[in-house]
Structure 1
Amino acid sequence: MIDEFAQRDTALHPPAYTPGYKTSVLRSPRNALISIRHTLSEVTAPVFSAAELGPLDNDLILNFAQDGGLPIGERLVVHGTVRDQFGAPVRNALVEVWQANAGGRYRHKNDRYIAPIDPHFGGCGRMLTDADGHYVFRTIKPGPYPWRNRINDWRPSHIHFSISGDGWAQRLITQMYFEGDPLIATCPILKTVPSEQQVRGLIALQDVGNFIALDSRCYRFDIVLRGRRKTWFENELTA
């Protein structure tokens, strides 16, 4: 028997309907969500192998570089742990990341921002967590960019994360922001987050002790996923 995951606390999530974040208006549900018990579809997930990943998949500085060139921008190392809400490390989780380049432009056909495409930067990577739930990757710090929410709204610098853990109920898609960015306070998307404490949980902190001398700054970003409820057996309840 596979244990179910702990119940989601919906009060921790932004409301689906948030008019200040305009594109949420047409795609948000209006009716109450339906709660169902977990089935195998929720408590299981694909198992990933290191053999499926390339040697540079977690190095966004080199994995798209052409003919010996390197991407433009501030070099960073980002690392952290993936744990569940009970503190247990989530081993062998697939962590996928994608982002804009140093000028704030994505390598995507629908991105029409005037910043140039960097021919040496693809903007995506992936990695697996180790036995302690730890992950690490190298990248270029993404630039902020304007977006058509209101006439002069700008997104703070951020990196998108997709995490696939032990079950589909642990699936998480989120964004990481950078300590000290003044655009965080005015971002309409972040204003939908219910509390200041939760906003702080989305902000990576400088990890000065892990700076690489004359090379890269480092940021730490820890991620928490839902945990499995423990199945208690009678013989475990002895004094």
Structure 2
Amino acid sequence: MKSGYYPRDLNMHPPAYTPGYRTSVLRSPQKAPIGFDGSPTEFTGPTFGHSLIGELDNNLILNFAQAGESAIGERIMVHGYVLDEEARPVRNTLVEFWQANAGGRYRHKKDTYLAPLDPNFGGCGRTMTDENGYFHFFTIRPGAYPWPNGKNDWRPAHIHFSVFGAAFAQRLITQMYFEGDPNIALCPIVKTIPDEDAIDRLIARLDMHNSRPHDMRAYRFDIVLRGKRSTVFENRKEGN
């Protein structure tokens, strides 16, 4: 690869056509992919400044709440490192995240799940990695929810991530699941991933060492951009 990045390992990614995941049937390509060399713009990086981040952007418990109020649910901290394919920190890069509330419902007009909305929870935020590639944010543990795929399919509790990286070729969109959730093994979307190690890299581990007593538990989730240990891109072969 002319860019210097490791080639993508497509064997660990979901195939485009996976009938168990119903919407992939119509949107999967009908012809073999064609590879192209990367363009110069893919190897330049988006730049973001800490001045663009608001005081509560990384606190989903409070960033949509009325004064004196807070979101409802189990309070947690999610933290970890963003690393490149050589396990080096990706510094000063934007990490965005969004999720359902504690009942499993998104604040979106097309979400018609019966669970109630939380008036004090917006479900999205962002932060920047520091000089060591470290990030953290505070939120409510999201709930599982049903989705119209099979007769009784449920999505595991999860948080969506968008990470820009040091170059556009590193851009990643993915999901984080929670250790011990039995819905992970049952989820048709997770089942599309053929590599068990890749699935394992999508699961955050309970981290009692960094939990706050009588306040919130912590979950550790490291994100690797590209390379053999990369975090799986969300239902697509490109991006890692």
Secondary structure of the residue that 1:189 maps to in structure 2?
Answer: helix
**Inter-partner Cα distance in structure 1 for 2:5 and 2:119:** 43
Report whether the alignment pairs 1:110 with 2:110.
yes
- Do the aligned residues in 2 keep the contact of 1:5 with 1:226 (CA within 8 Å)? yes
Q: Which moved more, 1:23-32 or 1:142-151?
A: 23-32
Question: In structure 1, what residue type is equivalent to 2:191?
Answer: K
The within-5 A match list for 1:81-160 is 81-160=81-160
**Inter-partner Cα distance in structure 2 for 1:153 and 1:221:** 25
Deviation sequence 1:201-233 (CA, Å, 0-9, x none): 100000010110100000000010026xxxxxx
Structure 1's consecutive aligned runs of 4 or more residues displaced over 6 angstroms after TM superposition are none
Corresponding residue number in structure 2 for 1:224: 224
Secondary structure of the residue that 2:19 maps to in structure 1?
Answer: coil
Q: Which moved more, 1:83-92 or 1:135-144?
A: 83-92
Report whether the alignment pairs 1:77 with 2:77.
yes
**Inter-partner Cα distance in structure 1 for 2:85 and 2:30:** 29
Corresponding residue number in structure 2 for 1:32: 32
TM-score of the aligned structures, taking structure 2 as reference length: 0.92
**Total equivalences in the alignment:** 226
Corresponding residue number in structure 2 for 1:21: 21
Query: Alpha-carbon deviation of 1:3?
Result: 4.6
Q: Which moved more, 1:12-21 or 1:23-32?
A: 23-32
TM-score of the aligned structures, taking structure 1 as reference length: 0.92
Secondary structure of the residue that 1:184 maps to in structure 2?
Answer: helix
**Inter-partner Cα distance in structure 1 for 2:191 and 2:211:** 31
- Do the aligned residues in 1 keep the contact of 2:206 with 2:218 (CA within 8 Å)? yes
**Inter-partner Cα distance in structure 1 for 2:58 and 2:47:** 18
Question: In structure 1, what residue type is equivalent to 2:110?
Answer: N
Secondary structure of the residue that 1:26 maps to in structure 2?
Answer: helix
Structure 1: unaligned runs, 5 residues or longer: 228-239
Secondary structure of the residue that 2:89 maps to in structure 1?
Answer: coil
**Inter-partner Cα distance in structure 2 for 1:12 and 1:182:** 22
Query: Alpha-carbon deviation of 1:45?
Result: 2.6
**Inter-partner Cα distance in structure 2 for 1:33 and 1:59:** 41
Corresponding residue number in structure 2 for 1:196: 196
Query: Alpha-carbon deviation of 1:194?
Result: 1.1
Percentage of identical aligned residues: 61
- Do the aligned residues in 1 keep the contact of 2:13 with 2:195 (CA within 8 Å)? no
Secondary structure of the residue that 1:19 maps to in structure 2?
Answer: coil
Query: Alpha-carbon deviation of 1:110?
Result: 0.2
Question: In structure 1, what residue type is equivalent to 2:11?
Answer: A
Structure 2: unaligned runs, 5 residues or longer: 228-240
Corresponding residue number in structure 1 for 2:47: 47
- Do the aligned residues in 2 keep the contact of 1:4 with 1:38 (CA within 8 Å)? no
Question: In structure 1, what residue type is equivalent to 2:131?
Answer: A
